[in-house]
Amino acid sequence: MMMTVGLFISHGSPTILTEENKWKDLLRNIGKDVMEKYKPDTIIVSSPHFISWSGDYYIENSEKLECIQDYYGFPEETYKYCYEAYNDVELVNEIVMASDGIIKEDNRWGLDHGAWIPLLFMFPEYKPKVVTISITDNSPESHYAIGEKIRNAVEKLGRKVLFLATGSPTHRLDLFYFKITPKPTNFDIILMDMIKSGEFDKILRINELYPKEYQTAMPEGNLNTLYILLGFVKPKRAEILGYDTPWPGVSMLAASFYD
């Protein structure tokens, strides 16, 4: 039976690369657990930094995914880190076909820091192939449907795939720069309760159900990476693996989803 598991993991600030931060240890432990239990052939990663504002979804078809250091004004030592990976081009082609033209091929992007920072700590030695797909400004339901199409392609090829969605539930960079004391937001608490209780349909409508909390938290990428993950996994259960607020205005969440 094909492994169908997804991870939602916050990548955090690029300063995590050089800081003493317990989140790096969590990423390492999650990576070890994935390798021991699954050893996936391919990681499909959706980062909030790979975004299309045209409404079109994009998937990279280059043989090798180059590292993109898409951050500016950070300490010089943060630019010494990078992570590259080979693409699973066969799976990319299958995903494009399964999408009926909704997902378009592209060769201008690689692995932005939302993708490669978690991969760097999770898979430092064994490097699985990686497929990266964009989010858009479309609805949660649209992203969920993209996840379904990706799963159809994966099942057709019989790949052992881990879906990795990244981003922060609370992403208030204004609070980061104003040095507001870090603390969990009401939005984070609501989202984690939904995950733990298996109310995945409500996660798709969290913006409608809790508009004030959603707007206050300004979730990174509007949680669209998570919506693709939910469509891919169609989870029956999930668990919280970690949560932290290491910086003002930025929360860190790690959760696993299983079919």
Q: What tens-digit pLDDT sequence spans the chain (259 residues)?
A: 455 789 999 999 999 999 988 999 999 999 999 999 999 999 999 999 999 999 999 999 999 999 999 999 899 999 999 999 999 999 999 999 999 999 999 999 999 999 999 999 999 988 999 999 999 999 999 999 999 999 999 999 999 999 999 999 999 988 877 777 888 999 999 999 999 999 999 999 999 999 999 999 999 999 999 999 999 999 999 999 999 998 889 999 999 999 9
Assign 145 to helix, strand or coil.
Answer: helix
Tokens of 256: 């696993």
Per domain, the residue ranges of the chain are 4-169+220-243+250-258
Contact 9, 254 (CB under 8 A): yes
pTM of the model as a whole:
0.96
Query: CA dihedral in degrees (111, 112, 113, 114; nearest 10)?
Result: -90
Q: What is the CATH code for 4-169+220-243+250-258? A: 3.40.830.10
pLDDT of amino acid 1 = 44
Angle ∠(72,123,161) on CA atoms, nearest 5: 105
